[in-house]
Structure 1
Amino acid sequence: MRILICEDSVLLREGLVRLLEHGGHTVVAALPDTSELERTVEAKDPELCILDVRLPPTFTDEGILAALELRRTRPRLPVLVLSQYVEERYASELIAAQGGAFGYLLKDRVADVGEFIDSVQRIAEGATVLDPEVVAQLLTRRSRDDRMRALTERERTVLAALAEGRSNQAIAALLFLSEASVEKHITSIFQKLGLEQDEGGNRRVLAAIAHFESRGPTGATSSEPQHPQTGASS
């Protein structure tokens, strides 16, 4: 796979290059900021873009704005955003935006090489992959919604795993359930959330989370690491 990286940290940027190339991929460009991103994407035609949320010159939202623009102008181009901390507002903006496959992961996930490479592959193949901590915060923040309160603890766990882009088979293995039980939980989730059941289960969950986010006040971004417990790992 042809991958473009946009990351200001030299150490992480070079680490990503080596990690991805070791995994059999080709890094067509590794940029320190977004100044040449559009031109480079046009020239190199990558199959996946990896961007940091905070990039020069202001280190605020350059990366997320670039990701949103890529999702708007190149909806078929998968985008993976890396963030130091859980920044709920940025994750919500990506979820609500129109576009193709994308991922939002904490940089700590890169340390688990196998899981990170697997996430990259799944995003490239069309999945939406959200960091478990991001999913946990979005679900917790909207737990006051009557529909969310209607979910059982097990259904919340299944929903969190589904929103991470996991297949029914993967959820069953993760939670030690049968696939039939997982399908039953998912059907119940969509009924309680008022969503029609079709083949786009992952998209529907993301749409639901985006809807809940739009109903509530926009929270401030996190300024320090947060480590909420997520049912997806129980």
Structure 2
Amino acid sequence: MRILICEDSVLLREGLVRLLEHSGHTVVAALRDAEGIVEAVADTEPELCILDVRLPPSFTDEGIRAALRLRQGSPDLPILVLSQYVEERYAAELIAAHGGPLGYLLKDRVADVAEFVDSVERIAGGDTILDPEVVAQLLSRRGRDDRLRRLTERERTVLAAIAEGRSNQAIAQLLFLSEASVEKHITAIFQKLGLAADDAGNRRVMAAIAYLTSTGAVQAPPAYPGQGSGAGSTAGSGA
């Protein structure tokens, strides 16, 4: 597999290069920042990109914003965000972006090399894998998802369509409803899931995560040694 890495730490960057090449993969580019990453992807045609969240020059959110740019320009490209941080705003947007496979793993929770390589290969193969801590933070203060039991059958159908990345118009066409009816159903879904209107515009994302978590539609990463058996939360992409 052809892999592009974007990581500012030279030790981690070179460590990833050696690890992945030792595992039989080819690192086509190893960048220290996200400048020129879109051009690098076009030139090297990787089959997977691994990016840190915080990169030069400001070490805030350059990496995950670069991941969003890659998703827009190459929607089928598998992306793995590998970071010490959960950048909630852009993480939610990246999960919501309709496109290729996605991973978001936290560096300090990866304690087994073989399991990490397996996750990399699964993402490249089409899986979406999110660290349970990422999911926990995105769903924090929203309660457990037996909330879905509050939904009517029609509302669950609408929510499933949201999780597939469908717009209100597409949902209306799918279910032979007016867009106004779809909007009423979505408003009811948000209320029953406890997703307030001030959730930074990410209510569709969080609703989709709640649905995919409840259905097991997206796989959790392996329980790395030290994570404990309770780390198996899941999440996935929505609209």
TM-score range, shorter chain: 0.5 to 0.7
C-alpha displacement at 1:58, in angstroms? 0.9
User: For the Cα contact (< 8 Å) 1:8–1:31, is it kept in 2?
Assistant: yes
User: For the Cα contact (< 8 Å) 1:33–1:56, is it kept in 2?
Assistant: yes
C-alpha displacement at 1:99, in angstroms? 1.9
Residue in structure 1 matched with residue 114 of structure 2 by the alignment: 114
Change (3 A) 1:114 1:204: farther
User: For the Cα contact (< 8 Å) 1:190–1:197, is it kept in 2?
Assistant: no
1:87-141 deviation per Cα after TM superposition (whole angstroms, max 9, x unaligned):
3223212111232111111012443212211111111111111011111222333
Change (3 A) 1:94 1:57: same
C-alpha displacement at 1:231, in angstroms? 5.4
User: For the Cα contact (< 8 Å) 1:190–1:196, is it kept in 2?
Assistant: no
User: For the Cα contact (< 8 Å) 1:137–1:228, is it kept in 2?
Assistant: no
Residue in structure 2 matched with residue 62 of structure 1 by the alignment: 62
For residue 126 of structure 1, what is the amino acid of its counterpart? G
Change (3 A) 1:136 1:191: farther
Residue in structure 2 matched with residue 105 of structure 1 by the alignment: 105
SS at match of 2:3: strand
Residue in structure 1 matched with residue 174 of structure 2 by the alignment: none
SS at match of 1:46: coil
Residue in structure 2 matched with residue 232 of structure 1 by the alignment: 232
Change (3 A) 1:190 1:125: farther
Change (3 A) 1:126 1:58: same
Residue in structure 2 matched with residue 150 of structure 1 by the alignment: 147
SS at match of 1:17: helix
Provide the rounded CA distance (Å) in 2 between the counterparts of 1:84 and 1:121. 21
C-alpha displacement at 1:13, in angstroms? 0.4
TM-score w.r.t. structure 1 length? 0.65
| 5+ residue gaps, structure 1 | 153-188, 219-226
Change (3 A) 1:117 1:109: farther
SS at match of 1:141: coil
For residue 44 of structure 1, what is the amino acid of its counterpart? T
Residue in structure 2 matched with residue 123 of structure 1 by the alignment: 123
User: For the Cα contact (< 8 Å) 2:65–2:90, is it kept in 1?
Assistant: no
Provide the rounded CA distance (Å) in 1 between the counterparts of 2:196 and 2:89. 10
SS at match of 1:43: helix
Change (3 A) 1:19 1:232: same
Provide the rounded CA distance (Å) in 1 between the counterparts of 2:69 and 2:36. 14
User: For the Cα contact (< 8 Å) 2:61–2:87, is it kept in 1?
Assistant: no
User: For the Cα contact (< 8 Å) 2:53–2:87, is it kept in 1?
Assistant: no
Match of 1:217 among 196, 199, 206: 199
Change (3 A) 1:55 1:102: same
Q: Does 1:52 align with 2:52?
A: yes
| 5+ residue gaps, structure 2 | 166-185, 201-226, 234-239
Aligned runs of 1:196-207 on 2, under 5 Å?
Answer: none
For residue 108 of structure 1, what is the amino acid of its counterpart? D
SS at match of 1:30: strand
Aligned runs of 1:113-192 on 2, under 5 Å?
Answer: 113-143=113-143, 148-150=145-147
Provide the rounded CA distance (Å) in 2 between the counterparts of 1:132 and 1:20. 24
For residue 92 of structure 2, what is the amino acid of its counterpart? S
Q: Does 1:15 align with 2:12?
A: no
C-alpha displacement at 1:196, in angstroms? 6.7
TM-score w.r.t. structure 2 length? 0.64
Which structure carries more helix by proportion? 1
C-alpha displacement at 1:151, in angstroms? 5.5
